[in-house]
């Protein structure tokens, strides 16, 4: 464990102490759980953001070719040569 110092508002501290007592855990344990939840959600949110941006780009650009969906592999191989 790494010891760190965090400043909370009086309301945050009171609510966390109450919740910790209700759950029978330390305030530090609740903070660790909150940090874990934030880190999981922020990683997922980042992935979701990338997906949403990609979906918004779909269909926005014209290739100029009418057979792109049929010959996309051929066109890609030309680009990467």
> Domain of 40: which CATH number?
1.10.1220
Residue 81 lies in a domain: no
Q: What local confidence, expressed as pLDDT, does residue 10 receive?
A: 97
Residue 17 in any domain: the answer is yes
Percent of the chain with pLDDT strictly greater than 90: 47
Burial (0-12, 13-18, 19+ Cβ within 10 Å), 23:
exposed
> Alpha-carbon distance 26 to 21, whole Å?
8
Say if 45 falls within a structural domain. Answer: yes
pLDDT of residue 43: 74
What is the mean predicted confidence (pLDDT) over 52-70?
A: 82
Full domain range(s) for residue 52: 8-58
Name the nearest CA neighbour of 31 among 10, 17, 46, 11: 17
The structural domain count of the chain equals 1
20 with 26: CB under 8 angstroms? Answer: yes
How many CB atoms are located within 10 Å of the residue 71 CB? 11
Does 24 fall in a domain? yes
Global pTM reads 0.55
Asked whether residue 2 is assigned to any structural domain, the reply reads: no
Mean pLDDT over residues 32-38, rounded? 94
Q: What is the spatial distance between Cα 63 and Cα 44, in angstroms, rounded to a whole number? A: 32
Indicate whether 66 belongs to any domain. no
């Amino acid at each position: 464990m790494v010891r760190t110092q965090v400043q909370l508002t009086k309301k945050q501290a009171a609510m966390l102490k109450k919740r910790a007592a209700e759950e029978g855990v330390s305030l530090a344990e609740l903070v660790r759980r909150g940090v874990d939840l934030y880190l999981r959600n922020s990683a997922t949110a980042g992935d979701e953001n990338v997906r949403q941006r990609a979906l918004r780009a779909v269909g926005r650009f014209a290739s100029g070719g009418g057979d792109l969906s049929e010959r996309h592999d051929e066109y890609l191989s030309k680009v990467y040569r």
